[in-house]
Chains A and B, each alone.
Chain A
């Protein structure tokens, strides 16, 4: 720990390098936010193209599903409402992606400086000013640069840049164009604050900030109530998680007296291994994670968040923000490795979420809903990884998932864009996101088709695509830790940890099978079989412009080769365990603590068996879906019959939303309405307090006025009795 103080004193290997400019990383997107925000505000006073109600024009009221891609109409020979491009559109399309690109370039430079600096055992902490000097609570505005935050910064700025470029095409005719880029830039600012903050409160500011941007962007087309409601749902559900995060911070401060990562890491050992306190802190932190990263029981907001523009779903609700919980656990590895019971809870919840969400994804018709549940499911995998102490595997999956899920979302954006354009040309009001209305799109959008297949193979764990390596590492990590680790020795509800971990491994395999099935299903229904879009619409289907396909290609390459960042020993084609070595200084100690001091070594045969099992189950899923699904039998949405039996349960998301509505929302609403409104507000406050005090004054006044009879004789009596009483009192005293 002395090293960290040395770092602050300026003897760190990174001091004097470009890493000193780390503050500029988040500031660039903030600058973009200011410029785009001003452009949006300056034009806000002009009625016309800025009026959100014009965005959807005559489509607005027909209730045709989430209005994604509604922005896509216009510019293409639109006849009923001429779309005027926003007058600051050019400015926003330059500034928005440019600040991100600059930020990414700077991140790359810092990354190279870190590699050049050689072994870096302690984080590079830059303190700018004292933020909260309150007695014992000393919180600095400080950035912490280490290997973990570097990985996150590269993912955020890299994938973020691609998504910003994609948005230039996707949002081109939206009346709120600069506003969109302002929010997106602000999001990146807060996200970088989240991963660069050197203490929990600063991380929390970023955590809340990205929540705010998520809310703003989910409800970006707020003129439709469903979108605004989805934003509110995300915001409120996240508050429940944030409550847990806050409690965890309070507990940390009360017991350790510090909130900086280095300070907590230094003091963590004093909490004792497996103690009640550290377990409580970890569980509360994890409650925060379940909110932000959409795990059971707080995952319900993420599927609804698909109401936002598709690039937003790609950036915020797949690649970056929702992985903040995984980052938080990896960042707090020094706490979680001390709390095996809490870690078991993380693994179990992660595994259950992975299975549960995957099962819902099997029967969704909305292309973005499939991807949303897939995201929830993959986040579950990441928690299985970081929960079981395989921190590197969790972060690795976070990275590959950022690639292939961003690609999938952007690809679906491209599909929706094409669908919407086709429908728009023919004034068709069908659902542009429903897979039953698609089919055979491979003929019309070759690039998107090929790239989405790459992403599908990656997420299904087909060998040598990125997802194969990361998913395999997580499943293998759980399996090995079930045999020998502090988690396996712990007990949860009286059940030995090793049983739970083996169970989670099996659940993980089952979820991997479902993942392969629903992804293949999505691809087959969207791109293969006959086209169901409609005869007149068909001729308008076309590939998106290069500004949208370009980022897809880059993400496609990354999805294909992303596994090279951390190759297992079994496949010696390049630098072995790159990410593992890179993250060693941050999580190495905790990883060893979880595994009782020895790195889990599987025999060659066992490792091969694990890999073969994971691959086999993925391929099995793909072939199962391929053989069972008959896209020829599908009919467009408006002619489709409802699901029957178990498929209906899955299609209705296990009725979880309904159950939450009955169990929580309705009681809260009826309590608020019956007790708080009618009882307390109108009854107690209005009735008793306000009207009551007025009535009391009236009664007292009336009684007093009755004394004033106007009879002098009475007054005289009162006077005399009073005098006698006073004299009597004096006499008897």
Chain B
């Protein structure tokens, strides 16, 4: 059971990583990040079955932080869209050195 859960979460995480690396749309990128977070959450839960409830408590923390992050992140994306009329990250390079 543990092995399957870990394998599943690893697959989810990799999908998230590939999404972040390949997609250019800020919304999709954001979703992929959420996917990675949830992959990690799944790992926590899986391990909690073996090592005790501490992992499950951690998941709640992660979900709280993810909710807050989603709020802030989406707000930024909306602000960005209002400013540049696009959410394509290739067109946005304000951090250029």
Contacts and interface: CB of A to CB of B under 8 A. Distances in A.
Whether both chains belong to one complex is answered with yes
Interface of A: 704-713, 716-717, 720
A708 B95 contact: yes
A259 to B, nearest CB: 67
A716 B21 contact: yes
Given A720-B17, A720-B21, A713 B89 contact: yes
Nearest to A708: B97
Interface in B44-91: 89-90
Interface in B11-36: 17, 20-21, 24, 29
B94 A710 contact: yes
A704 B24 contact: no
Nearest to A712: B89
11 contacts: A705-B97, A706-B97, A707-B97, A709-B97, A710-B94, A710-B95, A711-B93, A712-B29, A712-B92, A713-B21, A717-B21
Contacts of B17: 720
Given A720-B17, A720-B21, A704 B97 contact: yes
Q: Please give me the 6 A-B residue pairs with the lowest Cβ-Cβ distance, nearest first.
A: A708-B97, A710-B93, A710-B96, A705-B97, A710-B95, A712-B89
B90 A713 contact: yes
Contacts of A709: 93, 96-97
A712 B22 CA distance: 11
A358 B17 CA distance: 100
Given A710-B96, A712-B95, 19 more contacts: A704-B97, A705-B97, A706-B97, A708-B95, A708-B96, A708-B97, A709-B96, A710-B93, A710-B95, A710-B97, A711-B89, A712-B29, A713-B21, A713-B24, A713-B89, A713-B90, A716-B21, A717-B21, A720-B17
Nearest to B33: A716
Contacts of B93: 709-711
Contacts of B89: 711-713
Interface residues of B, number: 13
A711 B17 CA distance: 16
A712 B89 CA distance: 7
Question: For A706, A713, A717, which residue has the most chain B Cβ atoms within 10 angstroms?
Answer: A713
Nearest to A713: B89
Given A708-B95, A710-B95, A716 B90 contact: no
A717 B95 CA distance: 16
Nearest to B89: A712
B91 to A, nearest CB: 10
Contacts of B20: 716
A707 B97 CA distance: 8
A705 B96 CA distance: 8
A204 B19 CA distance: 86
B68 to A, nearest CB: 21
A288 B21 CA distance: 82
A236 B92 CA distance: 72
Question: For B29, B94, B96, B97, which residue has the most chain A Cβ atoms within 10 angstroms?
Answer: B97
A76 B72 CA distance: 103
Contacts of A711: 89-90, 93
B69 to A, nearest CB: 16
Contacts of B94: 710
Nearest to B95: A710
A706 B93 CA distance: 13
A711 B91 CA distance: 8
A720 B21 CA distance: 9
Nearest to B97: A708
Contacts of B24: 713
B80 to A, nearest CB: 12
B45 to A, nearest CB: 22
Nearest to B26: A712
Contacts of A705: 97
Question: For A705, A708, A716, A717, which residue has the most chain B Cβ atoms within 10 angstroms?
Answer: A716
Question: For A709, A711, A717, which residue has the most chain B Cβ atoms within 10 angstroms?
Answer: A711
Contacts of A717: 21
A707 B96 CA distance: 9
A716 B32 CA distance: 12
A368 B96 CA distance: 81
Contacts of A707: 97
Nearest to A723: B17
Contacts of A706: 97
A710 B94 CA distance: 6
A716 B36 CA distance: 13
Nearest to A705: B97
B65 to A, nearest CB: 19
Contacts of B21: 713, 716-717, 720
Contacts of A720: 17, 21
A717 B21 CA distance: 6
A250 B95 CA distance: 68
Nearest to B17: A720
Nearest to B18: A720
A704 B96 CA distance: 11
B74 to A, nearest CB: 16
Contacts of A704: 97
Question: For B90, B92, B94, B96, which residue has the most chain A Cβ atoms within 10 angstroms?
Answer: B96
Contacts of B97: 704-710
A213 to B, nearest CB: 67
A61 B89 CA distance: 82
B24 to A, nearest CB: 7
Contacts of A708: 95-97
A292 B29 CA distance: 89
A639 to B, nearest CB: 84
A647 B17 CA distance: 101
B95 to A, nearest CB: 4
A726 to B, nearest CB: 15
Nearest to A706: B97
Nearest to B20: A716
Contacts of B95: 708, 710, 712
Contacts of A712: 29, 89, 92, 95
Nearest to A702: B97
A194 to B, nearest CB: 71
A573 B94 CA distance: 113
Nearest to A711: B93
A710 B89 CA distance: 10
B40 to A, nearest CB: 13
A591 to B, nearest CB: 88
A702 to B, nearest CB: 10
A149 B48 CA distance: 103
Contacts of B96: 708-710
A707 B95 CA distance: 11
A722 to B, nearest CB: 13
Contacts of A713: 21, 24, 89-90
A716 B17 CA distance: 9
Contacts of A710: 92-97
Nearest to A707: B97
B89 to A, nearest CB: 5
B28 to A, nearest CB: 12
A574 B92 CA distance: 116
Nearest to B96: A710
A144 B94 CA distance: 86
